[in-house]
Structure formats: C-alpha cells, structure tokens
Amino acid sequence: MLLFIFISFIMTKYYPEYLEEMEELQDPSIRTCEYQDRTVVTQTIMYILQLAYALPISILYLFVILKILKAHKSEQMFSDAYFKIYVLDGVVSLIVVVLDFGLTRPLIYVNPLCYVFWNWFPKPTYILTPYLFGFNYFQFAKIFSISLLSANRFTCVAYPIWHKLFWKKHTNHVIIVSMICPVLFTWQLAISPTRLDIYVGEALLGYEKVVPFVRTTLFKLVVSFAAFLFILLTNIKTYRLTKKFKNKLKNLERSLTLSTVVISAVFIIYIIIQAILLIFSTSFLVENLAFGSILKKIEFICNDFYLMSSPIVLLIMNKRLRSSLFKISPEVPQNTSNTRQSSKNGDTVKIIVKSPSAKTLTMW
C-alpha cells in the first residue's frame, strides 16, 4: 500500500512537469552533439561492453526458443501452455533487444551517429516513425507477455484443475489479445512524425504529438504500474502456495513456477527504478551530467536484466529442462548385465555379457 501511494504521488506530482521540461529544453549549450565531460572513445567502449554481454545471452535465448519449438510436438513436457507463452515472451524480448542495440543505444553511445542523424533529420520526419512505433509496441508487448507468465503459474498452483482446462482451451486466444492490446497504447506513434532530440552528445528519438492529449510515456507508466501490482500480488501468492504444496507439485511444475517468480521479480525491480527516476527532472539531470549518467547506466543494466535474464534463470533452476535442451544423457551404472538373444533354426540362445548400457538386443 505504501508503494502504491509512493508511485501514485510521483506520477501525479512530478510526471507532468517532467514531460514539459523535456519539450522545452532549447538551450543551445544542451542541444549539441559535442560532449562536455566525456570522450568519444569511452562512450564507444561502454556500448561495446554492453554489446559483449547482450550478444551471447541473446544467442542463448534464441537457442532455447528454437529448441522448445522443435521439441513442442515430440516431447510432452514442452506441449504445456507455459512454453507457448514463454516462446512469445522470448521472441518479444529479443526483438526489443535487437531494436535497442540496433539504433537507440548507438545514438546514445556512438557519438558520430549523432552528427550523421542530425544532418539527415534536422526536422521531424516520418522516416523514423516505423522504428519508434515498433520499439514502443514491443516494449508494451513485453509487459503483457511477462504478466501472462505470472498468471499461468499462479493458476497452476492456486486452481490446478481449472488451470488445465482454461489454458488448454484459451492459450491461443489469450496470446492474440496480448498482442493486440499494445496497439491501444502506441497507435498515436504510428501517425506522428519522429524528431531527433540532442542532449550534450546523445541523440534520443521523440515524436511530435498529432493528438496533444495522448502521451505514450503516461500510457507506459499506467500499464507498467498495473502489471507491477498484478505481478507483485500473484508472485507473493504463488510463492506461498508453492512452498505450502511443494510435496504435491511435480518437480517440473515447481521449478517452472519458481523460475517465473524470479523472472517477474526482476520486472518489479525494474519498474521501481523507473518510478524513482521520475523524481529527477530532465533539467536537473542535464545540469548534473555525472549523476544523470550513473542513473542512466543503472536503468540500462536493469532493463537488460529484465529482458535477457529469463533463459539463464530457467536453465539454472530446472535440471530436467536443462538436460532436455542440451541432450544430456542420464548417467548409466557401469558393468550392468546385458542380455542378448540369438536365434537360429528356431532355437533361441541367451547370451549374458557385460556392457555399459542395459539395453536388450534381439538378433534374428
């Protein structure tokens, strides 16, 4: 309840001023592609370091998704509705990562791009509109997909019988709705020209409001806050029920549930940090560049962990899934007896031999 009051206070008191300041910062000393206390080399290295961990984790994420899709029909474990939603969440996460590291972060960290894009797009343009719309759309889609994961695990432990009936019948419907809903909060971006905002060597993408009273950032805060409350409450309830019925739940169900609790907890932390960042106005962050830079790095780290931690958490906490994905064969005791049967002219001869495996081979 205290956290609810805190975030509501931030949204009502600071948010409108924050938006207005972002649109009114026209100081020439700020609107420049030249750094004040940073160098091109250090900023480029920062981007390379972020790319260095994002690339291998994204490849692992893609590997897990492809393995699940491949085993979806052949292995019963992967036919569960949970893995359908997990694949959806993974695809959405990877798209956000690709778009983020493909343009948004290079504009912030690779200084020469600031000059290039400023020369190309000195005025608002529709050329960059598809990118800005797509980036925001999939950010919203990520919020809905991670909420679905939490809902799936909550119903699994709270209403096990209803859970199987509902998700078996309505999984595809729920996924379709979760992919349509983000359009309700991003449609204004699709009809608005995109502008390039320059702040002391960094380029950010914004948009000219065609519909003045519609604000994408406010939509994102409202949706994130609703998801925050839902995931927080369901996670607490899910964790308690999992601990209570740990002896009755299957190992797979228990590990998937706990994995989802951890993944969702990362989202909760990310939203809390986003709310804290709203306390500081844009003008304050520009005047205190070192402090603003630290906050931005913290935000990026939390964002990356929120987007890319899922496969790592899932594989660490689920031994059976890890074995299935990487085809790790179970250990077989040595010197086990192996019976072979040989038949000739209707007579059957049994031969007992020592071998590493305990399979029965029949030879005719």
* CA distance linking residue 118 with residue 121, whole number of Å: 5
pLDDT of 173:
94
> Can you give the pLDDT at residue 23?
46
pLDDT tens digits, one per residue of 124-146: 999 999 999 999 999 999 999 99
For the CA atoms of the chain, what is the radius of gyration? Answer: 26
pLDDT at 359: 38
Distance CA 192, CA 126 (A): 7
- What's the confidence (pLDDT) of residue 127? 93
Give the contacts of 209 (CB within 8 A, at least 6 positions apart): 188, 192, 215
Residue 335, exposed/middle/buried by CB under 10 A (0-12, 13-18, 19+)?
exposed
Q: What is the pLDDT of residue 161?
A: 86
Q: What is the 3-state secondary structure (H, E, C) of the chain?
A: CHHHHHHHHHHHHCHHHHHHHHHHCCCCCCCCCCCCCCCHHHHHHHHHHHHHHHHHHHHHHHHHHHHHHHHCCCCHHHHCHHHHHHHHHHHHHHHHHHHHHHHHHHHHHCHHHHHHHHHHCCCCECCCHHHHHHHHHHHHHHHHHHHHHHHHHHHHHHCHHHHHHHHHHHHHHHHHHHHHHHHHHHHHHHCCCEEEEEECCEEEEEECCCCCCCCHHHHHHHHHHHHHHHHHHHHHHHHHHHHHCCCCCCHHHHHHHHHHHHHHHHHHHHHHHHHHHCCCCHHHHHHCHHHHHHHHHHHHHHHHHHHHCHHHHHHHHCHHHHHHHCCCCCCCCCCEEEEEEEEECCEEEEEEEEECCCCCEEEC
Q: Does the domain made of 2-325 have the CATH classification 2.60.40.10?
A: no
247 class by beta-carbon count within 10 Å (0-12 exposed, 13-18 middle, 19+ buried): exposed
What's the CA gap between 236 and 3, in Å, rounded? 15
On whether the CB atoms of residues 256 and 324 are closer than 8 A, the answer is: no
Strand partners, 342: 349, 363
Q: What is the pLDDT of residues 256-273, one digit of tens each?
A: 777 777 877 888 887 887
What pLDDT was estimated at residue 328? Answer: 53
Q: How many residues does the chain have?
A: 364
- The closest alpha carbon to 255, from 320, 164, 306, belongs to 320
For the chain, the structural domain boundaries read 2-325, 331-364
Query: What Å distances lie between residue 208 and 20, 184, 212, 270, CA to CA?
Result: 13, 18, 9, 27
Residues of the chain below pLDDT 70: 1-29, 74-78, 245-253, 278, 280-290, 292, 325, 327-364
Are 205 and 105 in contact, with CB atoms under 8 Å apart? Answer: no
- Residue 319: what pLDDT? 75
pLDDT of residue 27: 57
Separation between Cα atoms, residue 108 and residue 336, nearest integer Å: 62
Q: How much is the pLDDT for 21?
A: 41
Q: What pTM was estimated for this model as a whole?
A: 0.78
d(CA 54, CA 56): 6
